[in-house]
Amino acid sequence: MDSSYDLSQLFSDGGPMMYPLVICSLIGLGVIIAKTWTLWVAHRSAVRVMEGVEEAARTGSFDEAVEIAASSPGPAAAILLAGLRRIRHLTLHKGELEQVVSTTGTIELSFLERGLVILATIANVAPLMGFLGTVTGMILAFDAIHQSGDVEPATVAGGIKVALLTTAAGLTIAIPVNIGYNYFVTRIDKLIVDMEESTQKVLNLAWDLERDGRLTIVA
What 3 state SS string does the chain have? CCHHHHHHHHHHHCCCCHHHHHHHHHHHHHHHHHHHHHHHHHHHCHHHHHHHHHHHHHCCCHHHHHHHHHCCCCHHHHHHHHHHHHHCCCEEECCHHHHHHHHHHHHHHHHHCCCHHHHHHHHHHHHHHHHHHHHHHHHHHHHHHHHHCCCCHHHHHHHHHHHHHHHHHHHHHHHHHHHHHHHHHHHHHHHHHHHHHHHHHHHHHHHHHHHCCCCEEEC
Whether residue 63 is contained in a domain is answered as yes
Residue 12 lies in a domain: no
The answer, yes or no, to whether residue 4 has pLDDT greater than 60, is: no
pLDDT of residue 25: 93
pLDDT recorded at residue 197: 86
Residue 219 lies in a domain: no
* Mean pLDDT score of the chain: 82
Query: pLDDT per residue over 112-122, tens digit each?
Result: 899 999 999 99
Which structural domain range is residue 180 located in?
Answer: 18-211
Instruction: Give the pLDDT score at 153.
Output: 62
Res 154: pLDDT: 59
Look at residue 93 and tell me if it is in a domain.
yes
Flag whether 125 is in a domain.
yes
Lowest mean pLDDT among 13-17, 23-27, 116-120: 13-17
Whole-prediction pTM = 0.79
Q: In this structure, is residue 11 part of a structural domain?
A: no
What are the backbone dihedrals phi and psi of residue 213, each rounded to the nearest 5 degrees, phi first? 80, 15
Q: Report the distance separating Cα 50 and Cα 61, nearest Å.
A: 14
Residue 25 located in a structural domain: yes
For residues 139-168, average pLDDT: 70
Considering the domain boundaries, does residue 181 fall inside one? yes
- Identify whether the C-beta of residue 146 lies closer than 8 Å to the C-beta of residue 65: no
pLDDT-based confidence at residue 184 (cuts at 50, 70, 90): very high
Mean pLDDT score, 9-35: 87
Reported as half-sphere exposure (CB side, CA atoms, 13 A), residue 122 has a value of 29
Residue 165's identity, in one-letter code, is L
The count of domains in the chain is: 1
Confidence of residue 148 (pLDDT cuts 50, 70, 90): low
* Position 1 pLDDT exceeds 50: no
Q: Comparing 162 with 102, which gets the higher pLDDT?
A: 102
